[in-house]
Structure 1
Amino acid sequence: MVSLHVYSVLVVLFLTCGAIMATKENDQIIRENNCETKMGLPCVLEAFTCIFVTGSISSKCCGEVVVLGKVFHSALVKRTLENPLFIDLSPTTIIAKSIQTWNNCLALIDSPSPSA
């Protein structure tokens, strides 16, 4: 099992190194909208793990994903896939997991909470 330290390193790479390899479109979307500062690091780690490894994402972090927006969410995922460190991952699988995470978060945020 991969340690939290390795996940942290992957998240840092997700947020920084990917910019070097990003397509102009994804990089421009991310930079112009300051996407990387719209989520806290714990939620970035949760979302990254959910999409690129396996796991779930909390409702709090789903809220941050939804606030980020679908275009920005997709741009960050695509930019990460362009990084040579992730060359062994299946883009089709990752994009499907990204869409599933987005849809799950949207449904969770849109669903009414039970009365107290």
Structure 2
Amino acid sequence: MASLNIYSILVVLFLTCGAVMAMKENDQIIKENTCETKIGLPCVLEAFTSIFNTGSISNKCCGELVVLGKVCHSALVKRTLENPLFKDLNPATIIAKSI
């Protein structure tokens, strides 16, 4: 019984460390690639609405997203999904929409 409790604690610690590392990884990618400076606020809002709600993206913002690049776009979407405000969203659906 004691070994089961220790095993449970180790699993919880492993999962917690993994979540913290993933969060730091996305923040590090965003910082290293200066992702937040590559796209204007109007296009951020348009893309956010399109991905997290419903809508479409204008040609202008589509161009800014292309310049932003896949690495920055993915890191920003994943960081947004880590926010507790979006805990009820299905990550697989959001990531599919973001592509």
TM-score band (shorter)?
0.7 to 0.9
The CA distance in 1 between the partners of 2:25 and 2:63, in whole Å, is: 25
Paired positions, count: 78
Structure (1 or 2) with the greater helix fraction: 2
Write the letter of the residue equivalent to 2:25: E
How is 1:20-59 mapped onto 2 (pairs within 5 angstroms)? 23-59=23-59
Aligned match of 1:8: none
Larger radius of gyration: 2
Write the letter of the residue equivalent to 1:83: N
Aligned match of 2:13: none
Which blocks of at least 5 consecutive residues in structure 1 are unaligned? 1-21, 100-116
Write the letter of the residue equivalent to 1:32: E
Alpha carbon RMSD of aligned pairs, Å?
A: 0.9
Q: Percent identity?
A: 85
The CA distance in 2 between the partners of 1:53 and 1:81, in whole Å, is: 13
Q: 1:32 offset after TM fit, Å?
A: 1.1
Q: 1:92 offset after TM fit, Å?
A: 0.7
TM-score, normalised to structure 2's length? 0.76
Aligned match of 2:90: 90
TM-score, normalised to structure 1's length? 0.65
The CA distance in 2 between the partners of 1:34 and 1:72, in whole Å, is: 8
- Give structure 1 regions of 4+ aligned residues with deviation exceeding 3 angstroms: none
C-alpha offsets along residues 47-89 of structure 1, whole Å, 9 cap, x if unaligned?
0000000000001000000000001100000000000000011
